[in-house]
Amino acid sequence: MTVTGIISALVVGIIVGALGRLVVPGKQNIPIWLTIVIGIIAAFIGTFIAGAIGLSTAGFSIWELLVQVVVAALGVFLVAGAYGRRGVRH
């Protein structure tokens, strides 16, 4: 992967992670770096899913972005739930 590819993945990850976090209702007690990591992973998984169901095109695709945001929202929801319970003892 080139330097440009890495920078692009980071930028897309930040955007997808932020959008995914905005979609999830309530407050998420997770650090911003974790949101970015979730966004990067969601971008890759969302691209794979969009390609598998025929929604991916060359260049920008709104459908691919929507799939990525849904995957990011699911990731933020799951990680925020697990991260929030980490320090709680019953």
Distance from C-alpha of 52 to C-alpha of 27, rounded to nearest angstrom = 33
Q: What is the DSSP letter of 29?
A: -
* Residues 6+ positions from 30 with CB-CB distance below 8 Å: 76, 79, 80, 83, 84
Q: What is the pLDDT of residues 11-52, one digit of tens each?
A: 888 888 888 888 888 888 888 888 888 888 988 888 889 889
Distance from C-alpha of 79 to C-alpha of 63, rounded to nearest angstrom = 24
**pTM attached to this predicted model:** 0.79
Contact 42, 72 (CB under 8 A): yes
Domain ranges across the chain: 3-82
* pLDDT, position 87: 55
